[in-house]
Structures are given as structure tokens and as C-alpha cells.
Amino acid sequence: MTQKVAVITGAASGIGQALAVAYARAGVAVVGGYFPADPHDPQATRDLVAEAGGHCLMLPLDVTDSASVDALAEQAVAHFGRLDYAVANAGLLRRAPLLDMTDAAWNAMLDVDLTGVMRTFRAAVKHMGEGGALVAISSIAGGVYGWQDHAHYAAAKAGVPGLCRSLAVELAARGIRCNAVIPGLIETPQSLDSQNSLGPEGLAKAARAIPLGRVGRADEVASLVRFLTSEESSYLTGQSIVIDGGLTVRWPD
């Protein structure tokens, strides 16, 4: 069987790294983008993928730069000969109350968390044929809930399902599917950042309100994303799937 090939943005940490490992286990080759300005070492993903018996190319990437995103997709084809799946996972999270919100902070957030998704899909679809699949990572912040002091993040994440629905319709004739994943609270470097997110104490407190009694793991989100790009979900497109341990369907008490 032909080996499938996936590009993943933000693949040096958290959900993106867990997805690279999930793909390795499933026999899918990975071209992962890492953001050099962040402290994550791409070698960790290379090592984990190798341990899982997979193939992975890690390349520097800035999703705010169209040329950089185009190059990631081109490298997938140059290195592995094809491109089947694209996962727009890279994300920025910053705290900014409305009255402190600068235009620059607003634009920087949308540039990564919404326009970056479009750039990733635009670059990948050029190389994709029948059976291609796109997945973007939204968030319950914006995708379901509001989040105080994070209006720019929530606005960007609320835009992601709309983008995915539209591309699902537009690309269906080419046999390419497009879905969004809406994670709840997942323990990763992003959510462990006490300055911009909940931090370890906030996550522990929030876990008490989650019906399954805990925050999620990156590999649990990765498992859903892998499914959404696989043949097992061949009739599933244009959907936004919440994965949150029951948090958003809980009756408030």
C-alpha cells in the first residue's frame, strides 16, 4: 500500500507532537513545522517518531509567512513524493483584556490562529488529490464558550469552523474533506502557561468541573485528528467535533 504523507504545523510540542507519533504508529509519514522563536526542540519529535518506527521531517515554519507555509507543503512532496493530509495545529495564546487590546495584538493573534489555518490548507491543497483530508484545531474558547481577556483568541478560534465548513463544500468535488476539532482543556505547554492560560493550578481546579474528572491528554486529541484524516472517516466532512471530557454538555451546578 502507498504510504500516506501528512503535514502538521506546530509539531514540536503538545498536540502536534502527539499527532506526529500517532501518524508514525499508523504508518503515515510526517512533515512537521516548528516555530524557531519558541523554545520547543524539534529533535524531541524526531526521536519520538523514530521510536514509534515512523518517518518524520521537521522544518522551521512560521504560519504568518505564506512562503514558509508553501515551502512546508513543497518539501513534503519533494521528500516523500506526495501529500495526503494537512493539520493546521499551530496556535498562539495571549491574555489581553479589551481595553488593553492593541491593533497589533489583535492582528497578530488572527494572523496565526485563523489566517495561518487558511495558509496551511491553501499550500497543501495544491498538492492533494482524491482522498485528501484537512483538519484544523479550534478551541472551546470561541468554538463553544466565550473566554474573558481572550477575545482575539476566541474570535480566531470561532472563525475556524466556518472556514472548515466552507472548504468542505468547496473541495468536495476534488474528493478532499475538511473538518475542525474543538478541544476542551488539554494538558500541553499552552494550557500550562499560567500567564496566558490556566496554568497547572487552574487546570487542576477546572478538572473538577469536567464530567470525566480530568483534563485531556494531547494523544487523545491526536487520536481524533488521525481518525478524521483516515479512510475510516471517508463520509465525514464539514464538521466541528468537540473533545472535552463532557465539559461543555454539563449542566451547571
Residue with Cβ nearer ligand NAI (33 or 161): 33
Q: Which amino acid is at 248?
A: T
Count of residues making up the chain: 253
Instruction: State the binding string over 3-22 for ligand NAI (x if CB under 6 A, else -).
Output: ------xx-xxxxx------
Work out whether 190 is an interface residue with ligand NAI (CB under 6 A).
yes
What are the C-alpha distances in Å from 49 to residues 24, 25, 85? 6, 8, 17
- List the end-to-end C-alpha distance of the chain, in Å, as a whole number: 52
Rounded distance, CA 52 to CA 200, Å? 29
If one asks whether residue 199 binds ligand NAI (CB under 6 A), the answer comes out as no
SS3 214: coil
Residue 232, number of CB atoms within 10 A of its CB:
10
Q: Is 90 in the site for ligand NAI (CB under 6 A)?
A: yes
Which residues between 210 and 229 bind ligand NAI (CB under 6 A)? 218
Known catalytic residue: 153? yes
Q: For cell 485531556, name the residue.
A: 216
Beta bridge partners of 60: 34
Question: Which residues, numbered 170-189, are part of the site for ligand NAI (CB under 6 A)?
Answer: 183, 185-186, 188-189
Stretch that binds ligand NAI, among 35-43, 96-104, 118-126, 232-240 (CB under 6 A): 35-43
Please choose, from the candidates 89, 111, 93, 64, the residue with its C-alpha nearest in 3D space to the C-alpha of residue 190.
93
36 vs 81 by CB, closer to ligand NAI: 36
- The string of DSSP codes covering 104-133 is HHHHHHHIIIIIHHHHHHHHHHTT--TT-E
Residue among 104 and 173 whose Cβ is closer to ligand NAI: 104
> For residues 26 and 108, which CB has a smaller minimum distance to ligand NAI in the complex?
108
Q: Which positions from 134 through 153 interact with ligand NAI, judged by CB under 6 A? A: 137, 139
As measured in angstroms, the least distance from the Cβ of 117 to ligand NAI is 9
The residue (of 161 and 183) whose beta carbon lies closer to ligand NAI is: 183
* Largest Cα span, the chain: 56
Instruction: Give the residue numbers marked as catalytic.
Output: 153
> Applying CB under 6 A, which residues contact ligand NAI?
9-10, 12-16, 33, 35, 38, 40, 61-64, 89-93, 112, 137, 139, 183, 185-186, 188-191, 218
